Structure 1
């Protein structure tokens, strides 16, 4: 049984909304509202993505499409609960022949242990219900599927412990009302603590109202 809150958040990713996602969310919202521009996220991918890469919550495939991988033919797996997101990102990344996996993040991932060089969770965790204790189970599963020395990286919009302007507060409240965001109470300290429980090395940096994180298995 899928949590109704997860189902509600997934309903936001319709084909019509995905068609404007890059311009509206990644372009306008990331820069003006959350104050962490998408170019910073592209750089994060280029620094951390490996030859065997798992992308959790790929959205439209924007970042993978622009990433310069360390090898010309990376082995990419796309994981999401939304069939629409998987179809859109797989189509955009067809040149890499990505594997797709439809799965719920709050359940054991149907993926082999020690398989990936890198895992990305970019703009994902703020859509997952529950506090960091509940969301932290995801990090345990990610640590399991990473090879020793592999890297988890990503970003998430925070609702606590960061500076917000009036626009950010208003838009965050609207996302909560619609059920698109489930990040009530999410702050950087809780994220850092959850990462430390599963990774020997981790780092969280706040940019605007976004946590940029990286951890090594």
Structure 2
């Protein structure tokens, strides 16, 4: 496990998907940090389309070939730079479902609400819709919080979650709510406290009591 700087307070930073290293000279992590920082700066200053590998190389002082050795494409670089908290940011479950979900949702919303995420969000969505390609598994682990959400549900007290509910369905609804608050905030006039999103998720998860309608 490797700690990363810049974490949201109250969260444990865990690097879950470090690829295996080949024998030889240790990897210079300062190159990664410089490239990722330059990517975030360019996204905010110049926008998604202008954030190219060449622009990142010029801004960071890292040679383009070194960047390509670490990220196979500018999209992969932008995703890791934009959402560094998704693999590394893990809310350690306490067993208190409400408390854990509140911390998780706040961290999730904060990650999407960061300036670089706002600048990149629409472009990344458009790219993936156009290419219709799945991310490689190791990249998915680095940028997805779905595993952490499932860990929270597994740690919940027995009987507190409807056994018939699909956690992936609930997570997808949470993702939609967060996107509406952040990436799509310019096209929606609704502004609601984040706590209402937490309550919505809790209601979706709670066991349903069957009721019989009287004739």
Greater share of helix? 2
In terms of Rg, which structure is larger?
2
TM-score (norm 1): 0.30
Name the TM-score, length of structure 2 as normaliser: 0.30
Q: Which structure's residues are more often strand, by fraction?
A: 1
